[in-house]
Amino acid sequence: MRKIVHRHLGKMVAGTAIAVAGTAVMVGITLPGSAGADEQGGQGSGQSAQQAGQQGQAAARPGVVEQAPAEGEKGTGRDPLTDDETKRVAQIAVNQQFFGSSENVEGRRGPQRVGVDLAEQDENEPTGANAPRRADVRFYDYKDDTLVTKTVNLDSGKVEQTDTQHGVQPPISSDEAVEAARLLIADPLGAGLKADFKDATGKELTSPDQLLLNSMVFRATSGAQPAVLAQCGDHRCVRLFPKVKNGPWIDSRDLVVDLSARKVGKLG
């Protein structure tokens, strides 16, 4: 009879890929009437518990959370990109031709956006509030496994430069991590992940929405992984570090998802 061995949940994931730190919040409680308890006879100041409680209630004021100030539509100089700017440059960077000739992580038309950052400034350009605002928008094109970076001038609304690279793997975006989890859950190699999730929650794992996901890019090393993962590095491959929401981490570091080939492999 086959022995069933329960996998251990909450393992510490080795390596520098991920570090998890917990923070404890210490709450101090002063009981009514405890003030002066070290005085003679243990009577303190003679204040009743009821009076102390009433004073404590009067001193406690409900917390007030102030709303963050409204974010401007456009930043100034080297200010971080606003949400409006980020959205705008992403739209400018994808013209009709680029959209029709590229493919995202789900295999649909259009490139996969993986990052937007304020572009580096040239040395001979103005500084301070007069500095020009440009953004580098990075896309991964799953159709031919290329990283496409477009530099957009926020003042003119035009793409000033396009750079295409092969074999360059930026950090995994949240959308890519979700798709990797979706592929892993659907694959036979994801059986252990689903079993651990059920042990932790008593429920079936059917969707990435049930997990918190951390991830890192995986690159193949000659002879160090199965053939199904040999193209990782040229292909977009990811290792997932999933966590049950309000629960333990699940150790799945031996599994790699090739997003380009939409396949899952297991490391030895």
139: closest CA among 147, 127, 131? 147
Say which DSSP state 189 is in.
G
| Distance (Å, whole) CA 260 – CA 141 | 10
What pLDDT is stored for residue 8 in this prediction?
Answer: 39
| Distance (Å, whole) CA 197 – CA 60 | 42
Residues 6+ apart with CB under 8 A from 140: 105, 111, 112, 114, 146, 147, 148, 170, 176, 236
| Distance (Å, whole) CA 167 – CA 146 | 7
Instruction: Report the chain's mean pLDDT, rounded to a whole number.
Output: 79
Helix axes 174-186, 191-201, angle to 10 degrees: 100
260: closest CA among 98, 148, 104, 111? 104
Which residue type is seen at 182?
R
As a whole number, mean pLDDT of residues 231-236 equals 97
Output phi, psi for 185, to 5 deg: -60, -35
As a whole number, mean pLDDT of residues 18-39 equals 36
For tokens 């100089």, the residue is 77
Kindly state the percentage of the chain with pLDDT values over 70.
72
Residue pLDDT, tens place only, 102-129: 999 999 999 999 999 998 887 777 676 6
What pLDDT is stored for residue 213 in this prediction?
Answer: 97
Task: Name which of 48-57, 143-152, 185-194, 222-231 the model is least confident about.
Answer: 48-57
As a whole number, mean pLDDT of residues 165-172 equals 96
- In whole angstroms, what separates CA 99 from the centre of its chain? 25
pLDDT for residue 155 is more than 70: yes
Residue pLDDT, tens place only, 86-95: 999 999 999 9
H or E segment to which residue 88 belongs: helix 83-93
